[in-house]
Copies of this chain bind each other. A is one copy, B any other.
Amino acid sequence: MKRTRYKEIETLLKVKIQHGVLKVGDYLPSENELCTNFSITRTTVRKALDNLLKEGYIEKKHGKGSLVKERRHSLGLLNVKGFSEAVGMNVNTIFLQEPAKREWSTTTSFRPSENELKANSLHFEQLRCVGDDPVMLENNWFADLELKNIIGQEFVEGSFFKTLSQKYLIEVTGSEQELRAEYADERTAGYLKIEPGTPILHISVKFHTNKSNLNIYSELYCNTMKYPIGNSYHL
């Protein structure tokens, strides 16, 4: 990757945001300040800010400044309505299996690469609830290559992806998904407190990250009766 002036400023600001030096709602230094602080022109500063804007880190207000935005760490991914998106709702995450070395699943829709399969697999399983209602069973696998010491560590604000971003500076750069409507099996139905055979939404995801040897493979089983899955896209 070529090093450029705007990329410097961009990552510098991004790191400050990720590490919480710049918090949500904080105003960034003005474009002119950045110009003088880093001895560059506004064109270059604006290129850096444009990229942060595109990636959803900041928001610009004409006549006021640029401020740090709540990062919709979704990026075209699916969110459970009243879950990641809802504010003030009573959301709980229960670990059914804490992160640990376990076998790669043979039933994921997306097959890990040979490199990944050669490495050990880390896995964890969570049950996502809205209040007392369990709505999603979530299984995650990833190769034990990049995330040193993640086992036993608390997740930042209970979120795996926030932990990746803040502790390891790893960002999700894309994803592939497959959606299916299926009958719930015994185990899944048990955790979701529904009758076996009820239709559930099965989502298989492969998350790509900025580390080429790190992908996260997720299998989600959702009870969409009470809480349908929602997502939105704009511009």
Contact = CB atoms under 8 A, between A and B. Distances in A.
A182 B199 contact: yes
A180 interface: yes
Contacts of A183: 199
11 contacts: A43-B43, A81-B178, A109-B228, A174-B234, A175-B233, A176-B231, A176-B232, A177-B231, A180-B228, A183-B199, A199-B199
A54 interface: yes
A230 B181 contact: no
For this chain, the copies found in one complex come to: 2
Contact of A182 (B174, B181, B208, B229): B181
Contact of A54 (B54, B176, B199, B208): B54
A125 to B, nearest CB: 20
A201 interface: yes
Interface in A145-189: 173-183
A11 to B, nearest CB: 16
Nearest to A223: B181
Contacts of A235: 173-174
Contacts of A234: 173-174, 208
A201 B181 contact: yes
Interface string A71-110: 0000111100100000000000000000000000000010
Interface string A197-215: 0011100000010000000
Contacts of A179: 78, 179, 201, 224, 228-230
Contacts of A199: 181-183, 199-200
